[in-house]
Amino acid sequence: MNEYWRFFKFVFFSASAGIIEMGSFALLNELLDWPYWPSYLIALTLSVLWNFTLNRKFTFKSAANVPKAMFLVFLYYLVFTPLTTVGGNYLAENLHWNEYLVTAINMILNLVTEFLYQKHVVYRNQIDNAVKK
């Protein structure tokens, strides 16, 4: 039951990061009329920083080495970001898919794959080890 609760918390915090991502994407896309890829890239970066901080502390309750954990998350995004930026840009600009649909698909892919990656790679053997004050 604890893992279901952990996943629920991850989804909850990811939803807050999703609001940041979709909000900043909308601002850049609509107000500044930027192309898909820079709008998505900036929005993704903002949401990643927010999500990493909250999930490390509240979802995984980990005392893992922060620079190491951030580096491992960086490695995840080293693969995820180019794939979704190039793929999303292709869908939005070349196939004329709705930019918000493409961003929502990327966010769902990110939610599922990042949870599994953080649980089994970033915080493996270091979940629930933070000292409570």
Q: What is the pLDDT of residues 42-90, one digit of tens each?
A: 999 999 999 999 999 999 999 888 899 999 999 999 999 999 999 999 9
Q: State the residue range of the domain holding 87.
A: 2-122
> How many domains does the chain fold into?
1
pTM of structure = 0.83
- 127 in a structural domain: no
- 101 in a structural domain: yes
- 130 in a structural domain: no
Helix (H) or strand (E) holding 77, with range, is helix 66-89
- 76 in a structural domain: yes
Q: Does residue 73 contact residue 55 with C-beta atoms inside 8 Å?
A: no
The pLDDT, as a whole number, for residue 92 is: 94
Of the listed ranges 7-21, 41-55, 89-103, 119-133, the least confidently predicted one is 119-133
For residue 119, pLDDT over 70 is answered with: yes
Mean pLDDT of the chain: 92
DSSP 97: -
- 51 in a structural domain: yes
The pLDDT, as a whole number, for residue 111 is: 93
- 32 in a structural domain: yes
- 129 in a structural domain: no
